[in-house]
Copies of this chain bind each other. A is one copy, B any other.
Amino acid sequence: MSNPTAAMLVIGDEILSGRTRDANMHFLAQELTKLGIDLKEVRVVSDEAPAIESAVRALSDDFDHVFTSGGIGPTHDDITADCIARAFGAHIDVRADARALLEAHYKKSGQELNQARLRMARIPDPATLIDNPVSTAPGFTIENVHVMAGVPSVFQAMVASVLPGLTGGRPLLSQTLRVDRGEGDIAATLSELAEEFADLSIGCYPFQINGVFGANVVVRGTEGARIDAAMTRLARALEA
């Protein structure tokens, strides 16, 4: 059986303008790989309702899980929750369970739970809350979409809340061989290897350090013994 699939939707003008370098994609990719869920696509869209709605619909249709980051804070440009409710035709308003969490949090910290902060309790009716141990305001899961914050520390805490509830697959294993030759020199060998080990993925990632070309050959798959066999074959072929 093949592994479950996933997509990520990053929401935020600050990434697209180059102001901020996204960190959540790399984190989520690593966590999903460990769990045996195959991340197949990532989209980054701006804080515009039509872009968010059409991307979430497309990704929700095409993949087993969708993870979003960004746009669920208290300010006017945080429109993700409402967009996702619309994408699923769900009613959304301040919800009692989310409001109770915020009330307790702000009471404890002596801050006011004003109208802006209450926006963070807007949760679609059919959604379940995602725990936020960092700053309380919850994320939520609706159908196969997990809606999370963009601030990396909060995003990571929410991912840790969500992943244990998902059914993983066979974790993707990999081994890497660094080769100090240009990839054009080893391409024929890799092509033969890829044909012989069609159940594995053979990737070649060139680099250039101080004018010297080399490549990292990465062999990925779910069966350790097969990867071992491919690596042994590869090492012999490159010695020859």
Contacts and interface: CB of A to CB of B under 8 A. Distances in A.
Interface string A183-216: 1111110110010000001111111100001000
Contacts of A40: 16, 45-46, 51
A-side binding surface: helix, strand, loop or mixed?
Answer: mixed
Nearest to A20: B205
A135 B182 CA distance: 11
A139 to B, nearest CB: 15
A18 interface: yes
Contact of A75 (B42, B77, B204): B204
A222 to B, nearest CB: 13
Best-buried of A17, A30, A188, A194 by chain B (most CB within 10 Å)? A17
A17 B174 contact: yes
Size band of the A side of the interface?
Answer: 35 or more
Given A111-B182, A119-B187, 15 more contacts: A14-B205, A15-B29, A16-B29, A16-B42, A17-B172, A18-B28, A47-B203, A73-B183, A76-B202, A77-B203, A77-B204, A114-B184, A116-B191, A117-B184, A151-B208
Going nearest first, the 7 A-B pairs with the smallest beta carbon separation are A116-B187, A18-B29, A18-B30, A117-B184, A42-B44, A76-B191, A75-B204
